[in-house]
Amino acid sequence: MSKALMNISKVLAEASAKTGITQNIKLDPDVQKKLNYEVMYKTLEGEVEKFILENTGNPLVDKFKDDIVQKFSYLIMKLQG
């Protein structure tokens, strides 16, 4: 993982601190690491979704989408009740 990706939450926190809304917040290193992973995961999730939507109809992409749905179908059914 690159250093730039590892510091995403720090950059976001510093940018928001400059707004004056969150000036007194100090991020614990463990919290910062957790935020880094959350931001990276959401970024990856968005890119995968975008890729699937932009390439619908491509047999490889359709199989990839079907595999993801198959793997998560049990969890989705449990969440729906």
Domain total in the chain:
1
Q: Are 37 and 5 in contact (CB under 8 A)?
A: no
pLDDT at position 36, please?
Answer: 83
pTM of the model: 0.54
- pLDDT digit string (tens) for the chain, length 81 residues: 455 555 666 666 666 666 655 556 677 888 878 888 888 888 888 999 999 999 999 999 999 999 988 988 888 788 887
* CA atoms of 22 and 14, how far apart (whole Å): 9
* CA atoms of 7 and 37, how far apart (whole Å): 10
> Which residues constitute the domain of residue 49?
3-80
pLDDT at position 2, please?
Answer: 53
